[in-house]
């Protein structure tokens, strides 16, 4: 039997060590947590994307009494960006979160459904996204796109 080893490279650093462009995007994601509508979970998530012309768009999670009708910060942001700027590729994505105690020390990774949407967006624009996950204690940088977070992924190639 053969074995496949699927590796994921994640860079770990403090916020202060991030390149200036990443810091700016993270700050937009952190600020977006205050626009979150998270009355049920009290878990405020903010996301920000940088488009290929430098435009930054941010968004936050929007919850609903019918829980599955709510949407994560990442998808809110990407869908908003893509619906406003359908020809601009998404270059990078930052995610930040806080709960009632304040900002989380460790980064939150995007959920599975958001990873799938990130993958579709990468495919759509033929461009891997730089993903920056913010935590007050440490940040993670995924440089080579969402495939690192979603190995053996299903995309439109299988539909051909």
Annotated catalytic residues are 74
Q: Which of 18, 45, 89, 93 binds ligand THU (CB under 6 A)?
A: 45
CB of 160 to ligand THU, least distance (A): 30
Inter-residue contact 22 to 141 (CB < 8 Å): yes
Tell me whether strands 130-133 and 56-60 are parallel, antiparallel or unpaired.
unpaired
Q: Which stretch binds ligand THU (CB under 6 A): 10-18, 106-114, 120-128, 141-149?
A: 106-114
Q: Which of 22, 27, 63, 91 binds ligand THU (CB under 6 A)?
A: 63
C-beta closer to ligand THU: residue 56 or 108: 108
C-beta closer to ligand THU: residue 110 or 135: 110
Q: Is 43 in the site for ligand THU (CB under 6 A)?
A: yes
H or E element that contains 118? helix 112-125
CA angle at 76 for the pair 116 and 31, rounded to the nearest 5°: 120
Rg (alpha carbons) of the chain, rounded to whole number:
16
Inter-residue contact 61 to 38 (CB < 8 Å): yes
- Residue 129, class by beta-carbon neighbours within 10 Å (0-12 exposed, 13-18 middle, 19+ buried)? buried
Q: Is 59 in the site for ligand THU (CB under 6 A)?
A: no
Q: Which of 48, 57, 73, 149 binds ligand THU (CB under 6 A)?
A: 73
Q: Which residues here bind ligand THU, judged by CB under 6 A?
A: 38, 41, 43, 45, 61, 63, 70, 72-74, 108, 110-111, 114
């Amino acid at each position: 039997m053969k074995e496949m080893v699927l590796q994921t490279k994640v860079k770990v650093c403090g916020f202060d060590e991030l390149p200036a462009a990443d810091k700016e995007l993270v700050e937009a994601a952190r600020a977006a947590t205050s626009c979150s509508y998270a009355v049920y979970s009290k878990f405020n998530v903010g996301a920000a994307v940088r488009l290929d012309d430098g435009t930054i768009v941010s968004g936050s999670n929007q919850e609903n009494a019918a829980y599955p009708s709510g949407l994560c910060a990442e998808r809110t942001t990407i869908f908003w960006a893509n619906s406003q700027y359908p020809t601009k590729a998404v270059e990078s994505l930052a995610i930040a979160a806080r709960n009632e105690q304040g900002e989380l020390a460790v980064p939150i990774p995007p959920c599975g459904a958001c990873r799938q949407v990130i993958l579709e967006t990468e495919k759509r624009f033929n461009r891997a996204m730089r993903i920056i996950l913010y935590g007050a204690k440490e940040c993670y940088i995924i440089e080579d796109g969402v495939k690192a977070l979603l190995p053996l992924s299903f995309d439109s190639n299988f539909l051909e």
